[in-house]
Amino acid sequence: MTSYAVDPATGALAPLNTVGTGGTEPAHCEVHSSGRHLLVANYGDGRLAVLPIQHDGSLGDPTDVVAPVGAVGPGMASGAPPGSFAWSGHDGSHAHMIASDPGGRYVLSTDLGLDAVFVWTLDPDRGTLRPAPAPSFPAASVGGGPRHFVFHPNGHMLYVVHEEASQIGVYRFDPATAAVALLQVVGTLPDGFAGSSFASSITISRDGRHVYSGNRLHNSIAILSVDAGGALRLVATEWTRGDYPNQVTLSPSGAFLFACNRRSDQVTTFRVDASSGMLNFTGQYLAVGSPNMIGFA
């Protein structure tokens, strides 16, 4: 894992240092809400690491590395579309994402291979992870393969994308205890779709009224509305104008959505209708080799 200093005037990057992540194939990292630790999910062996952030922004060696424990999930997702062969990682532990809840009290990590979401507490002084009182909860549907998640701005709703089932699990989340209750499972593909597709990432509008998720192979962005109780309804799917959207994400203002089309080597841009949540392609293609993810400073 490499840290960089950012020139605020030009945006130029200067490397600070590189440290190991305590595992193999790091897939996702996120700064804890305290700003003192970097959380890392290693996809290859499923290990989760905590790296201290030094005063100059450089990274220290891991203060903790933990391995989630559980049974490997089934090879095929029970909730997948008919004719699906979307199998990708039920051969061992594969951590896909790690991030803290909005209050910073708990840390959640998804494990596609173990078919579960794990919940941890972080000791901010020691930089260590320990299982929360309710240490995990299963995939919303058997074999679904939890991948990415996002919290509603109110901090009481949690949305988890399931890669192999092309579904989103909707959970009520208790910020005090991290207890969850599954309220709904909704698909990200149009009614009548048959075949293979892999759901990728998920993002939510700042007002909490719309959720967006990527569909790889179907090459679309699922547009879902959020009702007053936090439940989702699939409104439409929008073609990404590219191949294999590994991530879809909103700009900080919420005015634009970007799709990282990994196999067609470009990022496509959409203008967001704030009222309806619908997407309008801007006609802009940004050529990037195998784009995987966009972040904003």
Residue 89 has pLDDT above 90, yes or no: no
* Domain 24-242: assigned CATH number: 2.130.10.10
Higher pLDDT, 95 or 87: 95
Q: Name the one residue in this structure whose structure tokens are 């090459």.
A: 219
Q: What is the pLDDT of residues 41-53, one digit of tens each?
A: 999 999 999 999 9
Q: What is the pLDDT of residues 191-207, one digit of tens each?
A: 999 999 999 999 999 99
Question: For residues 157 and 150, what is the distance between their CA atoms, to the nearest angstrom?
Answer: 9
Q: Taking residues 234-238, report their average pLDDT.
A: 98
Residue 75 has pLDDT above 90, yes or no: no
For the chain, how long is the longest CA-to-CA vector? 54
Kindly tell me the burial class for residue 190, based on how many C-beta atoms sit within 10 Å of its own C-beta (0-12, 13-18, 19 or more). middle
Q: Which amino acid is at 181?
A: A
Residue 270 has pLDDT above 90, yes or no: yes
Q: Taking residues 15-30, report their average pLDDT.
A: 97
Q: How many helical (H) and strand (E) elements, i.e. helices and strands, does the chain have?
A: 0, 22
Question: For residues 275 and 54, what is the distance between their CA atoms, to the nearest angstrom?
Answer: 42
Exposure b/e, 164-178, CB count within 10 A at least 16 = b: bbbbbbbbebebeeb
Q: Name the one residue in this structure whose structure tokens are 């959207």.
A: 245
Q: How far apart are the first and last CA of the chain?
A: 18
Write the CA distances from 150 to 11, 64, 254, integer angstroms.
27, 24, 15
The DSSP secondary structure of 2-68, one letter per residue, reads EEEEE-TTT--EEEEEE---SSSSEEEEEE-TTSSEEEEEETTT--EEEEEBPTTS-BPSPSEEE--
Residue 297 has pLDDT above 90, yes or no: no
Q: Which of 220, 225, 270 is nearest to 242 (CA)?
A: 220
- Whole-number pLDDT of residue 87: 84
Query: In percent, how much of the chain has pLDDT > 70?
Result: 100
Question: For residues 297 and 242, what is the distance between their CA atoms, to the nearest angstrom?
Answer: 25
pTM above 0.85, yes or no: yes
User: How many C-beta neighbours within 10 Å does residue 61 have?
Assistant: 11
- pLDDT category, 130, cuts 50, 70, 90? very high
Q: Average pLDDT of the chain?
A: 96
Residue 136 has pLDDT above 90, yes or no: yes
- Whole-number pLDDT of residue 145: 96
- Whole-number pLDDT of residue 181: 98
- Whole-number pLDDT of residue 88: 80
Indicate left, alpha or beta for 166 from its phi (over 0: left) and psi (-120 to 50: alpha).
left
